[in-house]
């Protein structure tokens, strides 16, 4: 994950090797390299500038302890600042409610249906009875895909293939859930290849009509700054509660992971890194930061 970024940061810190102390000059050139590495990783320019300015200010004027070299100090400061950039602490998903409703939004192909299956398994493992609901009224294949995933993780799937009213399907699913003792209802919705008004109206209508416990926005991390821009657009309409970053197993550079929190001001809650149902983790900013720094 993010190998290129890790390598470039490592190279930047190596600049300080053999330097006895932190000086404005050696910090400035290292920080410049860190900034370049972040921008190459498709981190939003403003975010990259702000975070590297902070790293610089933190570093300059710090007395280096005998046991810590300037390089080690810069790594520590960078690690702390990247953690802060991604939100400091994990923000857990709330599944309280009777039942709790988790609304899944995002573009087509972002990984919504796959994530819905993974989340169902994740919640089931916490001992809560889950219901998956197929609300993609345009692609019958999406209903079949969810049914396959539901079977794989041992979770019921509610679908009405003939019904073209997503809110009605979701409300019927809620009735079904209440009658059958389900504690959490995950609603998988239709996406489009790009943002369009009809899709936005539909997902907005679902949010207003269902009043979900949580609305999650799923986005393909490989799309870098596009991911951040799409997140912004969805958030303006949906005011969602959290982000799910998918496809972190692919050739992704890190820009989305590092920029989304600051640009959209919503926490990343989960990361998805593969097609297998257990390739899902709760997002921890500090662990991600450590991973990036290698």
Nearer to ligand GDP, 56 or 269 (CB): 269
What distance in Å separates the CA atoms of residue 215 and residue 102, rounded to the nearest whole number? Answer: 6
Site residues (CB under 6 A) for ligand GDP, limited to 31-90: none
Site residues (CB under 6 A) for ligand GDP, limited to 179-218: 191
Q: What is the 3-state secondary structure (H, E, C) of the chain?
A: CCHHHHHHHHHHHHCCCCCCCCCHHHHHHHHHHHHHHHHHCCCCHHHHHHHHHHHHHHHCCCCCCCCCCHHHHHHHHHHHHHHHHCCCCCCCCCCCCCCEEEEEEECCCCCHHHHHHHHHHHHHHCCCCEEEEEECCCCHHHHHHHHHHHHHHCCEEECCCCCCCHHHHHHHHHHHHHHCCCCEEEEEECCCCCCCHHHHHHHHHHHHHHCCCEEEEEEEHHHHHHHHHHHHHHHHHHCCCEEEEECCCCCCCCHHHHHHHHHHCCCEEEEECCCCCCCEEECCHHHHHHHHCC
Out of 272, 284, 288, 292, point to the residue binding ligand GDP (CB under 6 A). 272
Query: By CB under 6 A, which span of 70-78, 155-163, 231-239, 243-251 interacts with ligand GDP?
Result: 243-251
Nearer to ligand GDP, 64 or 279 (CB): 279
Out of 273, 281, 282, 286, point to the residue binding ligand GDP (CB under 6 A). 273
Q: Is 269 in the site for ligand GDP (CB under 6 A)?
A: no
Per the annotation, where are the binding residues for GTP?
A: 106-113, 188-192, 246-249
Q: Is 113 in the site for ligand GDP (CB under 6 A)?
A: yes
Shortest CB 32 distance to ligand GDP, Å: 34
Out of 15, 26, 30, 110, point to the residue binding ligand GDP (CB under 6 A). 110
Query: By CB under 6 A, which span of 23-31, 93-101, 203-211, 273-281 interacts with ligand GDP?
Result: 273-281
Shortest CB 76 distance to ligand GDP, Å: 31
Per the annotation, where are the binding residues?
A: 106-113, 188-192, 246-249
Shortest CB 110 distance to ligand GDP, Å: 4
Shortest CB 80 distance to ligand GDP, Å: 28
CA angle (16, 12, 15) in 5-degree steps:
25
Residues contacting ligand GDP: total by CB under 6 A: 17
Binding region for ligand GDP (CB under 6 A) = 106, 108-114, 191, 246-247, 249-250, 272-275
């Amino acid at each position: 994950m993010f190998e290129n970024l890790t390598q470039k940061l490592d190279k930047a810190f190596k600049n300080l090797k053999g330097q006895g102390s932190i000086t404005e000059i050696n910090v400035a050139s290292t920080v410049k390299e860190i900034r370049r590495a972040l921008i190459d990783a498709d981190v939003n320019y403003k975010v990259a500038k702000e975070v590297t300015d902070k790293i610089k200010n933190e570093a300059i004027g710090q007395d280096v302890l005998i046991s810590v070299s300037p390089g080690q100090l810069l790594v520590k400061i960078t690690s702390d600042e990247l953690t802060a950039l991604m939100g400091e602490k994990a923000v857990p998903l709330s599944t309280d409610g009777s039942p709790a409703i988790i609304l899944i939004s995002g573009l087509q192909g972002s990984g919504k249906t796959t994530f819905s299956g993974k989340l169902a398994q994740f919640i089931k493992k916490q001992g809560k009875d889950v219901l998956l609901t197929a609300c993609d009224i345009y692609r019958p294949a999406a209903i079949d895909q969810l049914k396959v995933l539901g079977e794989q993780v041992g979770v019921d799937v509610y679908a009405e293939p003939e019904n073209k009213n997503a809110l009605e399907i979701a409300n019927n699913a809620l009735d079904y859930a209440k009658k059958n003792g389900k504690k959490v209802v995950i609603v998988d919705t239709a996406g489009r290849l790009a943002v369009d008004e009809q899709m936005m109206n539909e997902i907005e209508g679902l949010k207003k009509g269902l009043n979900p416990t949580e609305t999650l926005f799923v986005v393909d991390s490989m799309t870098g700054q596009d991911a951040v821009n799409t997140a912004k657009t969805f958030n303006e309409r949906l005011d969602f509660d959290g982000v799910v970053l998918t496809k972190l197993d692919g050739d992704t550079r890190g820009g989305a992971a590092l920029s989304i929190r600051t640009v959209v001001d919503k926490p990343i809650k989960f990361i998805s890194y593969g097609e297998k149902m257990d390739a899902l983790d709760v997002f921890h900013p500090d662990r991600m930061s450590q991973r990036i720094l290698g």
